[in-house]
Every structure is written in structure tokens, then in C-alpha cells.
Structure 1
Amino acid sequence: MSFTLITNGRVLDTETSTAPAADILINQGRIETVGPPGIAAPLDATVIDAAERLVIPGLINSHTHGHGSLYKGGGDRWTLELLLNAGPWLAGERTLEHKYLAASLAAAEMLSKGCTAVYDLYVEIPAPTLEGMRAVGQAYHDAGIRAVVAPMIADRTFFQAIPDLVDALPETLREHVQKIKMTPAASTFDICRRLLDNWTFDRRRITPALGPTIPLHCSDDFLTTAHNLALEYDVGLHMHLAESKIQALSGVRHYGKSLTAHLDSLGFLGPHFTAAHAIWLDHDDIARLADHGASIAHNPGSNMRLGSGIAPVREMLDAGLNVGIGTDGAHCADNQNMFEAMRLASFASRLRSHDYDNWLNTGEVAALATTGSARALGMGDKIGKVAPGFEADLVLLDLNHLNWLPMNDPVNQLVHTEDATAVHTVIVGGDVVVRDGQLLSIDVAKLKSDAQEAITFLGEQNRETRALAEQLERHVGKFCSGLARSPHHVHAMAESNLPR
């Protein structure tokens, strides 16, 4: 047996906002005992001295896109629809080495900032491949992070998904977008089935799932097939849901009902389903998701970065709906910092109501980023707590760091003050992957040179695709801005009433 003893540390208790002194005994990657200082341990146990350290559960990122890590800072005033318009050049022409590199870069940032597990909807253009998804899984395995990896799949293009968008384009551009074709659904699901049949990683660490991207980007047959395949293989389903007002309005136009109501009518919802963003939901939509035991991945950073709106998290929690926190991809939120995501989740809740009783408190936010996200990953009984029987996914924060001087309320400071700069040690499944703030599993200097070389190569390879997207951008933006002025009964934006 392999034992590790973490001694002399203080373990965060989010329910009482205290951090009592405690020792933690780890046995074969799982927490065996959490007790007062001096607990018994085998003589040959590896000892980690946690003096002046605060021990917290590893933060869990319930939604990101690993492929986006190569283009952090790649756009500024992009809405969701403009991001989707840019998607082909952001993820196009990648080799297996690029796919591995992008996931490695994402893992490096998350681990160094105290995140120990992630749900990644990874995009391959034009379609997922067995080799590509294995490269992503291998990157996460080599980095030492826990991950759920879902190929993002669809059978409709972005331009087909929004009613009347194609007709609003100039004729020359219309001809270009009409030539864009998705891989046939049968081919996509053949790849997915082979991926699930031949998953080569330990599922306790690297787990497969399916990611039908957005309801309007998928035909009903496609959604039903994805749902049935996920049930057959007992894997998760992850999808962007009602992320923007454009999606919400288009859903009503296309289905005659909300996006969530349509998914419900297909039998798509269930405890295996995690909906990302979920901003433009009404009370009935929230009730549907809660009744089916689904989860939400709340991404406050990208929701604001893309101008999508503020998700009704308080209403979700009051309805009994499970909510986790995510960063979203680095190409649309610009970093993978779960501490920042927690802080933004707290602050965003204050924009929805003048009644402070409706704001998220810091204990709730900390729970969303740990136990809530764990459930969204399908690992609610395995990770997210510093407790016996749970995986030893732990982060040690340096209490000598200025973020913690002085310590007043450890939960408030975790959410509102900590920014990842006090991360000292990160442990995943009992293995130390960050020590003294330095990654042990990834050569960051090599990562830097490889990433710079990759974006130079990919910039040239995607030059024409990017040029077309930039020609389309103004037309797509104007059309969607006009559509967004249409009335909708859900209000998720703090729009000014001043005349323009």
C-alpha cells in the first residue's frame, strides 16, 4: 500500500467558515482519514508538511474547450455568434501534435491555478477523430489532471442554425457559407461509437462523454441518437443551452417552444446531462431541468465576455437544480482560472437583484466550484470534498501570501481574494503535480516554444478561412444585433434605457 500523510495544515470547512488544524492520511490515492493533528500513519508513509498552508478540495472546472487554449486573447468585442463565425479558423487545420499541445496548455494552466478536474468539450474540424480524442486524453493523462473528454458534435452549421441568417448575407458570401457542409451524422456517430468501444484510459482519471454542441446545431434525429448512445455506454452528455438571446429567440422560431422544452419533448434530459451557460431560461425551463436531475455549468466569465447575459443561478439553486462553475475556453474567456470564475460568479449574482438575500454567498460559490461541479462531471461521489472515501484531489494555499494577510474569513477570502497566486501544492489522486508553485508534469519552457510555433503555422494554414470569417463578421453581427432587439419574456441583460 502507498500512504501519504499531510500534516500541520489547516483544512477549510466551508460550512462553518473555519480552517481548523488537521492531518490527512491518503491511501492509494484516496483520503482515508481526516483528523486532528497527530493521527496515526504507517512509518513508511510519505509526509507532506503543510505548515502555514490552507488545504482545500481541488477546484473543478465544469465547462471548457481545450482547443481554445492556443487562441487566448484572440478576440475582443465578439458575441457568441461572432465567436461561432470565427470557429473554423480558430480550430482548423490542426495536426495530432497541435491537438495534444492545446490540451496540454489548458491542463498546465488549470493545474497551476488549483484546478484538479475538468469537463472538456473539444472541437476537431471538420469532425471528431479517434486519434484526435486519444491525443487529448493522452495530454490530460500526461499532465496528471482528472478529465471528462467529450467530442463536440453536430450535423448543422452555425449558418443553418439561425433562421434567415443566410438570406441576410450578400450573395457572394452566401455562396461561400452554403458550401460549408457538416460530416454526415452516420459517420460522426460511427467515430463516437468506436471511441467509446476503444477507450484506452483509466476511466477513474480520464472519462469519455458526448458533446452535441447546441440544440439548433443538431437535428432531432441527431440529438436522439446522441442521447441513446450516451445511455448505452453510460457516459455523460454536455451541451450549450440557451447561451445567448439569439439562441433563445431562434429556438422559439424553429421549435415553437423554448430550447429546454424541446429537449424535454425528445426525452433528452436526465441526470447524465449537463447544460453549459443556461442563461436565457424561464422558471418552467429551470423546473424541467431540476425535475430530471440535470446539472448546469455556470460560466460567468465568458457570459460577460461575450455579452450573453447573467444566468439565473439563485433561481436554479432554489429549484433544487445542481450547478457547477466553469471557465469556458481560453478563446472566449481568456484564461482557465477557477478562482477568478468563483469571484465572478459571486459578483454576477449581484447584478440580477437589488435584494441582497438573493445574492450568492461565498459558501455557496465555493460549493458550486467543488461539489456542484463534481456532480456535473458525473463524479459527485468521488471528488470535490476533503473527506474519507474521496479521491485525494487537494490544493494547498500559502497562508504567508499577501492574499491571506490577515486571515479574517477563509471562505470569503477564498472566493473574493484568492487569485491563484497563493497556490503552492496541487495533488491529484494522491500524486503531487505542482510543488512550490511549479508544475512537475509539464515542461513549461517547451510548451511556450511549441505554442508559439503552432500559432505561427496555424495562422498561415487558416489564412483564407480567417479572411472569409472576417468578411462575414460585420454582416453576422448586424443581423444578430437586430434579432436581439426582438422581445423575449426572459430578461438576462442589464441594458440601458437611455436613448442612443
Structure 2
Amino acid sequence: MTKMLITGARVLTPDALSAPFAEVLVEDGRIAAVLPPGTKVDDAARHDASNRLVIPGLVNGHTHGHGGLGKGVGDKWDLALLLAHAPWINGGRSVADKRLSTTLTAVEMLKKGCTAAFDLAFEPPCPTLDGLDAMAEAYAEVGLRAVLAPMVADLTFFEATPGLVESLPEAHRARAGGMRMASAEEILGVIGAAAKSWSHGGKGIRLGCAPTIPLHGSDAFLTGCRALSAEHGLPMQSHVAESRYQAAGGEIRYGGATLLEHMDRLGLVGPWFSVAHGVWLTQGDLELLAKRGGGLSHNPAANMRLASGLAPVRAAIRAGVTVGIGTDGSSSSDNQNMFEAMRLAAFASRLWEDAEDDDWLGTAETVRLATVGSSKLLGLEGGTIEPGKAADLALLDLAHVNWAPLNDAANQLVWTEDGSAVADVMIGGQWKLRDRKVLGLDEAKLARDAQEAADRLRGVNVEARAWCEELAPHVACHCRALAKGWTRSKRLLRAD
């Protein structure tokens, strides 16, 4: 039995409204007690946390570990353009590259106070057992908890988007139309085999299943994903109604039904399921999601970066949906900073037309979404510093300029903190970050390896990139026309 008493710190309360001085007793990976200042526990090792603020580890409700090697790609891209460029962004990767990219993502999250993540990992055209093991090992090496959900589809972006292939110039039509993902049978077979042989649960890495976008899956494939998830108890997450062109495409393919309604008809929506983004969910969608016990990961940075829009977060909360916060991947929002995600979530809530201040996300509420809310999306029972909860903690340096002076803990967690004051991180009662350094990992070598891999892959994918860049204006034209037609025909959901 191991005991540690964290002393001298301010400790964020479960409601996130205050941070009084307290002592935190950690025993066998869990919080055993939150004690008055000065309390002595004779058989516990002491950790002096004077001038520190202890908060629950932030939980990333939606990311992509494969995005670690794709930071900073693209500029004036919306979601359709990002997907059109995916062949060269993610192409030509070895198993070692997949592990490296995931390690980069995990290290950045850890250094910015995150202790767990829902990672939709992409291995086109089909997930592999070696790749999934390598990515799980990356999380285990860094020490983060994770749901690692292979992001899968049996239709390509070009097949999935109504009318896209036909809209392309003849010179590009054959190549785009001839691209293929692996078969549904092959993809589901790999995930099923991974579920049967999964050996990473003891390290806090859980396998999931992520049919990437409903339009990118045939009905048989989507129902196969659900059956497999039900058989093995896998959590599911999918990008649903992220952009207007997808919402339009869903109504075209599904005879007027929304994307979420169609997924529900196939049996995918339930307590095991969460929506990523959900920018264009209707009020009926939100009520359905709440009725089924599903969740929503709000990813404001990517929603803005990719011009997707503002997610109806307040409407979702009022409907009874479990809401968490995520960063999205580093090729679509360019960092893994949950402090930035909280700040942008609070900002975005103020941009709804005619929204009153009751519709805005307050700072304490936003912190709870990024801890308690996101924990629920991952199937974790964490997010607060209370007896019985996992000892997943981040310690912030109150001497840092972000906290000079300390006026209000919740306000400053959201408004002024950017991750640079994170000094130490504990996961399951074990230190994973000390004095801003990741334990057991050479960060300088990681950076060198990342640069070498990026340079090499840039060369490998030069032809694919050139083709994607030629194609991109035609993709943008078609998808934006779909979006405009759908917007004109709909009364957009408002925060009230």
C-alpha cells in the first residue's frame, strides 16, 4: 500500500468555483481524502506543493493521435479541403511513424495538463493490429489514459459526398472515383481481432470503434461497427454534422433524415456513443441524443479553424446531453491544448445571435465540461478531486505570470492559463510530468525524430500532394454549393 500526502497547495473544489488551501491524500492510485491544511498523516510520503494549484487532470474528449506529424498543414482550408488533402497528409507511414505521431500528441497533452483522451486513430485504408498496438504503446509510454478508437470507413471521401466525383474535371474523375478503402469485412475483422487480443487495458488504454463520418460508411458497415462494439463493449464516437455540406449530403442520401436520425435507425446511438463536433445538429437531434444517453464532444478550435460553425452547446446541455470538450487533431486545430479549448468554448458561446448571458458558458462550468463531461465520454468516473476518484491531477505554478495575481481560480483557468504554468502531472497516483519534464522519455530525441519523419514523408507524398492541390478548388466549389443550398432551406438552430 502506497500513500502520498500533497501538502501546501490550493485545491480546486468539485464545483470549480473556489480553490482553498487543502491537503490531498493519495493512496493506491486514488484520492483517499481531501484534508484541512496542516493535517498530518504519519505513514504517508509528503510532497510539498506550496505555491501550486491542484486541479483534476483535463480530459480531451476528441483528438487524433495521427495528427501529431501534421501540425500546421494547410491554411485557408475548410473541412472538405482537409479531407481532400488527407491522402498526402497521412500517406506512406510506417508503424514506427504511427507510434511517433501518437507519442507527439500524448506528450503535448501531458505537458499541458491533460491526463486522458479519446483518440480516433486513422490508418488508411484499413487499421492494422501492429499499428493499433504501436499507438497504444505510445500512450502507455507517456502515461496517459486513452480510448483508442480506430477511425474507419468503407467509402472514400469522394464516394461518400453526393455528386462530388461527377462534378470533377474528366482528368481527375477516374482517379478520384477509383480510390477505395478496405472492405467492410476486412476492417471489422481487424477490429474484432484487436478486441480479442487487446493487452493494453491494464495500462489504461481501452479499445474503441469510430465509424469516422456516417456518410463514409455503408449501412451494412455502420451496423457491423455497432454489432462489433456491442459484442466487445467498445465505446463509439463519430464525426456527425460537423459541417454544412455533410448535413446536406445526409439529407440527400437518407431521404430527408438527419445524419443522427439515420444512425439511430441503424442502432448506433446510445450510452456507448458520442458525437464529435455536432455543429449542425438540429434541436430534434439533440433531444434524440439525450434520450438515448449519448454525448457530445465540443471542439471549438477545429470548428473555427475549418469554418464549420458554432456548435449548439447550450442547447445540448439544456436538452440533457452529456457534453465534453476536445481539441481535435493537430492537423485540424494544430495543438493539443485543452486550456485553449476551454477558452474558445467559452468565447464561442457568446457569439450566438441574440444569446443572453444565461446562454453563455461560465468559466467554472467550462472547467467541469473539460473534466467531468469529457471523462464521461471516455467511460471514466473522474474529473473532480474527491475521495474515491482516480488520482489524475495537474499542478500549476502560481508563481507563473499567468497567475500573478491570483484573483479567481476558475476565471484564470479559462481566461489566462495557456498550459505554460503546468509544472507536474500525476496519473493514477504516479508522477508522469515533474518540473515540466516528461518522465522516462527523451523529448529532444522525440523532436529530432519528428522532424526527420516529416521531412521524409514530405518526399514520399510529393506526387499525391500535387494531385490533391490540383483537385482542391473543384472539391471546395462542389461542397460549398451543397452547404449553401442546405443553409438556405433550413431555419438554423439558435442557442435559445
Corresponding residue for residue 327 of structure 2: 327
Amino acid at match of 1:251: G
Counterpart Cα distance in 1 of 2:64 and 2:198: 20
Corresponding residue for residue 250 of structure 2: 251
Residue 200 of structure 1 deviates from its aligned partner by 1.1
CA contact (8 A) 1:310 1:492 kept: no
Corresponding residue for residue 56 of structure 1: 55
Corresponding residue for residue 19 of structure 2: 19
**What secondary structure, in the 3-state scheme, does the structure 1 residue paired with 2:209 have?**
strand
How do 1:102-113 and structure 2 match up within 5 A? Answer: 102-113=101-112
Amino acid at match of 2:6: I
Amino acid at match of 2:176: V
Corresponding residue for residue 177 of structure 1: 176
CA contact (8 A) 1:196 1:208 kept: yes
**What secondary structure, in the 3-state scheme, does the structure 2 residue paired with 1:221 have?**
helix
Change (3 A) 1:490 1:308: farther
- Describe the superposition over 1:263-312 as per-residue Cα deviations: whole angstroms up to 9, x where unpaired: 11112110000110001011100000000000101000000000000000
Amino acid at match of 1:259: L
| Bigger shift: residues 256-265 or 295-304 | 256-265
CA contact (8 A) 1:311 1:492 kept: no
Change (3 A) 1:213 1:8: same
- Describe the superposition over 1:134-167 as per-residue Cα deviations: whole angstroms up to 9, x where unpaired: 0000000001111110111111110111111110
| Bigger shift: residues 223-232 or 13-22 | 13-22
Corresponding residue for residue 367 of structure 1: 368
Residue 38 of structure 1 deviates from its aligned partner by 3.2
Counterpart Cα distance in 1 of 2:151 and 2:165: 23
Off by >3 Å, runs of 4+ in structure 1: none
- Describe the superposition over 1:363-417 as per-residue Cα deviations: whole angstroms up to 9, x where unpaired: 11111100000000111x2x21111111110001111111111111111111111
Counterpart Cα distance in 1 of 2:489 and 2:110: 40
Amino acid at match of 2:285: D
CA contact (8 A) 2:62 2:327 kept: yes
CA contact (8 A) 1:105 1:447 kept: yes
Corresponding residue for residue 237 of structure 2: 238
| Bigger shift: residues 298-307 or 454-463 | 454-463
Residue 442 of structure 1 deviates from its aligned partner by 2.2
Corresponding residue for residue 314 of structure 1: 314
Counterpart Cα distance in 1 of 2:202 and 2:272: 16
- Describe the superposition over 1:288-342 as per-residue Cα deviations: whole angstroms up to 9, x where unpaired: 0000000101000000000000000000001110000000000010100000000
CA contact (8 A) 2:323 2:369 kept: yes
Give the alignment's Cα RMSD to 1 decimal: 1.4
Corresponding residue for residue 68 of structure 2: 69
Corresponding residue for residue 404 of structure 2: 405
How do 1:169-208 and structure 2 match up within 5 A? Answer: 169-203=168-202, 205-208=204-207
**What secondary structure, in the 3-state scheme, does the structure 2 residue paired with 1:84 have?**
helix
**What secondary structure, in the 3-state scheme, does the structure 2 residue paired with 1:485 have?**
helix
Counterpart Cα distance in 1 of 2:483 and 2:202: 42
Counterpart Cα distance in 1 of 2:483 and 2:133: 39
Q: Does 1:385 align with 2:384?
A: yes
Counterpart Cα distance in 2 of 1:65 and 1:57: 22
Q: Does 1:281 align with 2:299?
A: no
Residue 204 of structure 1 deviates from its aligned partner by 6.0
Amino acid at match of 1:282: T
Amino acid at match of 1:189: L
**What secondary structure, in the 3-state scheme, does the structure 1 residue paired with 2:60 have?**
strand
Residue 14 of structure 1 deviates from its aligned partner by 5.5
CA contact (8 A) 2:339 2:414 kept: yes
Residue 493 of structure 1 deviates from its aligned partner by 10
Residue 492 of structure 1 deviates from its aligned partner by 6.9
Counterpart Cα distance in 1 of 2:21 and 2:489: 52
| Bigger shift: residues 331-340 or 2-11 | 2-11
Structure 2 gaps, min length 5:
none
| Bigger shift: residues 340-349 or 409-418 | 409-418
Corresponding residue for residue 498 of structure 1: none
How do 1:443-458 and structure 2 match up within 5 A? Answer: 443-458=442-457
Residue 205 of structure 1 deviates from its aligned partner by 0.8
Amino acid at match of 2:259: L
Counterpart Cα distance in 2 of 1:253 and 1:39: 64
CA contact (8 A) 2:14 2:384 kept: no
Counterpart Cα distance in 2 of 1:63 and 1:411: 22
| Bigger shift: residues 33-42 or 159-168 | 33-42
Change (3 A) 1:442 1:493: farther
Corresponding residue for residue 155 of structure 2: 156
Counterpart Cα distance in 1 of 2:362 and 2:76: 31
**What secondary structure, in the 3-state scheme, does the structure 1 residue paired with 2:279 have?**
coil
Counterpart Cα distance in 2 of 1:134 and 1:16: 37
Counterpart Cα distance in 2 of 1:31 and 1:119: 23
Change (3 A) 1:204 1:447: closer
Q: Does 1:128 align with 2:112?
A: no
Corresponding residue for residue 300 of structure 1: 300
- Describe the superposition over 1:245-275 as per-residue Cα deviations: whole angstroms up to 9, x where unpaired: 0000110111021101111111211000011
CA contact (8 A) 1:14 1:366 kept: no
**What secondary structure, in the 3-state scheme, does the structure 1 residue paired with 2:25 have?**
strand
- Tell me the percent identity: 48
Counterpart Cα distance in 1 of 2:175 and 2:71: 27
CA contact (8 A) 2:396 2:424 kept: yes
Residue 359 of structure 1 deviates from its aligned partner by 0.7
Corresponding residue for residue 141 of structure 2: 142
TM-score, normalised by the number of residues in structure 2: 0.97
Q: Does 1:119 align with 2:113?
A: no
Structure 1 gaps, min length 5:
495-500
CA contact (8 A) 2:105 2:336 kept: yes
- Describe the superposition over 1:10-43 as per-residue Cα deviations: whole angstroms up to 9, x where unpaired: 1112536221111111111111111112334343
Corresponding residue for residue 35 of structure 2: 35
Residue 127 of structure 1 deviates from its aligned partner by 1.0
- Describe the superposition over 1:173-210 as per-residue Cα deviations: whole angstroms up to 9, x where unpaired: 00111220110111111100000000011356111000
Counterpart Cα distance in 2 of 1:464 and 1:433: 41
Counterpart Cα distance in 2 of 1:493 and 1:177: 37
Residue 464 of structure 1 deviates from its aligned partner by 1.6
CA contact (8 A) 2:312 2:494 kept: no
Q: Does 1:464 align with 2:472?
A: no
Counterpart Cα distance in 2 of 1:41 and 1:195: 44
CA contact (8 A) 2:249 2:482 kept: no
**What secondary structure, in the 3-state scheme, does the structure 1 residue paired with 2:260 have?**
helix
Counterpart Cα distance in 1 of 2:403 and 2:124: 44
Amino acid at match of 1:96: V
Corresponding residue for residue 291 of structure 1: 291
Change (3 A) 1:16 1:175: closer
CA contact (8 A) 1:68 1:330 kept: yes
Counterpart Cα distance in 1 of 2:462 and 2:23: 55
Corresponding residue for residue 348 of structure 1: 348
Change (3 A) 1:446 1:435: same
